[in-house]
């Protein structure tokens, strides 16, 4: 599943392609993707019809991001919240040009649009945007305003780790209230949003703290190191296009390069880049977690 840096880079590509585009018509073939509230998916043909009707004639002002969600801001004031989850993909095709596909790669989309995995089509004044999803865990939801989206979808979301609200005080208080393992706390979107399996491992290593420590046992200097590491690791990952492993691409179909910079993620058994000892692994919340027993305390 894409994390903050991957979603941010896809956002930038979609912003370049879609800003100012007017939606002429929307076709929804899988109502559950545009129905429901929050993460609850209940198919509703009525919701699908409303989704298509309310977006027809509207224009894209900007594409923003909140946590791991893409936020399409519309001229009408409405917003569309999209999450790719495990297998979602956006594809933009402008005339006869080759389609730009970003998100999880779907081979069929490279030469056929729409295809059997296409579940939403946005017919634009120039080209078309397709939402494709092989497993259909993702969602694309319409809300009348940003405030309505926050109230219905983001009420338990923490702050953006690269924004001004992510202060050391805020972060320290969030960890102090949590008795779970540190990695679990870092992936808790109510504490800090956008972190997942990859960057939780990388941040813990950068800060020299074991991911299986209880979050509320960290001393002040450890919390400060983590706070700095979160900002630095995420910024570096965004700058290099994110960690586009085999199941993710940017909108121009290229891979991000941050996977080359991974210090621990996916490197279990290999030498630690600091001390040279073999990296260890364990399961935390059913996630493979890699760390250095020597460098992380």
Residues assigned a catalytic role: 2-3, 68, 287
Structure tokens at 114: 């729409």
Per-residue tokens: 241: 């296009």
Question: Directed axis angle between helix 220-239 and helix 197-207, to 10°?
Answer: 130
CB atoms within 10 A of CB 113: 18
- The C-alpha atoms of residue 208 and residue 225 are separated, in whole angstroms, by 8
Q: Are strands 79-83 and 69-74 parallel, antiparallel or unpaired?
A: antiparallel
Report angle CA 267, 274, 292 to the nearest 5 degrees.
50
- In this structure, the number of other CB atoms found within 10 A of the CB of residue 39 comes to 10
Do 205 and 132 contact (CB within 8 A), yes or no? no
For residue 126, the 8-state DSSP code is S
DSSP state of 127: S
- Do the annotations mark residue 255 as ligand-binding? no
What distance in Å separates the CA atoms of residue 72 and residue 64, rounded to the nearest whole number? 6
Residue 114: asked if its preceding bond is cis (omega within 30°), the reply is yes
| Rounded CA separation 211/296 (Å) | 8
Does 117 show up as a binding residue in the annotation?
Answer: yes
Contact 139, 36 (CB under 8 A): yes
Nearest Cα residue to 161 out of 109, 218, 229? 229
Query: Binding-site residues, please?
Result: 117, 135
Query: Binding-site residues for DNA, please?
Result: 117, 135
């Amino acid at each position: 599943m894409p994390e903050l840096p991957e979603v941010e880079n896809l956002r930038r590509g979609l912003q370049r392609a879609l800003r100012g585009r007017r939606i002429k018509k929307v076709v929804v073939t899988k109502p559950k993707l545009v129905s429901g509230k929050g993460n609850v998916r209940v198919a509703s043909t009525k919701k699908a019809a409303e989704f298509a009707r309310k977006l027809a004639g509207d224009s894209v002002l900007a594409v923003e991001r909140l946590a791991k969600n893409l936020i399409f801001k519309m001229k009408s004031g409405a917003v569309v919240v999209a999450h790719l989850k495990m297998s979602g993909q956006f594809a933009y095709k402008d005339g006869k040009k080759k389609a730009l596909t970003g998100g999880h790669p779907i081979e069929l989309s490279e030469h056929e649009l729409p295809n059997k995995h296409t579940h939403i089509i946005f017919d634009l004044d120039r080209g078309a945007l397709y939402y494709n999803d092989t497993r259909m865990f993702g969602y694309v939801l319409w809300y009348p305003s940003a405030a309505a989206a926050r109230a219905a979808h983001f009420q338990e979301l923490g702050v953006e780790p690269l924004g001004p609200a992510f202060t050391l005080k805020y972060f320290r208080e969030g960890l102090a209230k949590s008795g779970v393992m540190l990695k679990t706390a870092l992936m808790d979107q109510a504490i800090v949003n956008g972190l997942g399996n990859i960057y939780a491992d990388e941040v813990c290593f950068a800060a020299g703290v074991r991911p299986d420590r209880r979050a509320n046992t960290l001393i002040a200097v450890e919390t400060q190191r983590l706070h700095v590491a979160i900002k630095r690791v995420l910024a570096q990952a965004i700058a290099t296009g994110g960690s586009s492993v085999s199941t993710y691409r940017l909108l121009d179909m290229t891979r991000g390069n941050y996977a080359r910079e991974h210090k621990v993620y996916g490197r279990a058994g290999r030498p630690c880049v600091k001390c040279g000892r073999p990296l260890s692994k364990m399961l935390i919340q059913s996630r493979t977690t890699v760390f250095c027993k020597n460098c992380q305390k």
